């Protein structure tokens, strides 16, 4: 089978497995709350069977993820990826949606490299990486910002915006994605890349934990910050091509 087609299928499988895991964790959480209020359920035959089914499904999900990871690591295709071009495609994808919801989408690029040769455009904003994974990474974070802002109402926020900045320095491509929606509290921000239940109504996010894994696969770094003055910012560092 074509390598890129297989990657796309693996990506879809990853999303499905992640979301099923989220739903099962939600069911397990609800079951625990039920037993807190009604302890006698612990002895109910059907309730016990349900708990065993939950445990078995979670085990299957872990095994599926492990098998897929082993396969993908063998099949993963790395190539030159123009991050500027891919970000511009995603901006085009979200531009109309943002306009319809009164969200300003701001995009800027800078070069801050002393080593960069002016006019050398072939590697200007390029990395060696897996194109499908990197697109998923940026798409997920931009989508999170859009979904946070589309129904966001705050008398102190005059203008809703998503800011995307791409900077090349001597070591990294630095991608910042910032929005001025709701602030993420400090306790949650510390654990934001850990596996957790999705808070989205549609439940379709691939999860910031997976975003972190994609960045790690590319020998990069990802950070998150959130406060009243600057909003929420995700900063991604990817190694440049010399």
Length of the chain: 242
With cut-offs at 50, 70 and 90, classify the pLDDT of residue 204.
very low
C-alpha separations of 50 from 17, 137, 147 in Å: 20, 35, 34
Over the Cα atoms of the chain, what is R_g?
21
Bigger pLDDT: 94 or 156?
94
The predicted structure's pLDDT at residue 123:
64
The predicted structure's pLDDT at residue 203:
40
> How much of the chain exceeds pLDDT 90, in percent?
32
The predicted structure's pLDDT at residue 209:
86
From CA 164, how far away is CA 139, in angstroms rounded?
12
From CA 85, how far away is CA 88, in angstroms rounded?
5
> How much of the chain exceeds pLDDT 70, in percent?
77
**The two three-digit tokens of residue 61, written as one number:** 């999900």
pLDDT per position as a tens digit, 64-104: 766 666 555 555 678 899 999 999 999 999 999 999 989 99
Mean pLDDT of 200-221: 75
Pick the CATH number of 79-239 from 3.30.565.10, 3.90.1150.10, 3.60.10.10, 3.30.70.1060: 3.30.565.10
Q: Domain-by-domain residue ranges, the chain? A: 3-75, 79-239
Mean pLDDT of 222-232: 91
Q: Is the pLDDT of residue 198 over 60?
A: no
């Amino acid at each position: 089978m074509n390598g890129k087609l297989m990657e796309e299928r693996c990506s879809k499988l990853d999303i499905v497995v992640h979301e099923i895991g989220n739903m099962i964790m939600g069911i397990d959480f609800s079951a625990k709350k039920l037993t807190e209020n009604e302890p006698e359920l612990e002895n109910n035959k059907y309730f016990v069977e349900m708990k065993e089914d939950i445990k078995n499904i979670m085990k299957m999900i872990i095994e599926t993820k492990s098998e897929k990871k082993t396969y993908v690591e063998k099949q993963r295709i790395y190539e030159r990826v123009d991050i500027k071009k891919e970000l511009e495609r995603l901006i085009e994808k979200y531009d109309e949606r943002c306009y319809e919801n009164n969200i300003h989408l701001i995009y800027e690029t800078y070069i801050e490299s002393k080593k960069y040769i002016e006019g050398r455009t072939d590697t200007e904003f390029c990395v060696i990486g897996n194109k499908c994974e990197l697109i998923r990474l940026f798409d997920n974070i931009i989508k999170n910002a859009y979904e946070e802002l589309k129904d966001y109402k705050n008398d102190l926020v005059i203008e809703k915006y998503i800011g995307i900045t791409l900077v090349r320095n001597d070591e990294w491509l630095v991608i910042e994605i910032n929005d001025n929606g709701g602030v993420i509290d400090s306790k949650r921000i510390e654990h934001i890349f850990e596996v957790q239940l999705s808070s989205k109504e549609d439940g379709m996010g691939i999860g910031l934990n997976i975003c972190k894994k994609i960045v790690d696969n590319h020998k990069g770094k990802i950070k998150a910050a959130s406060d009243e003055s600057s909003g929420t910012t995700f900063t991604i560092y990817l190694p440049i091509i010399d």
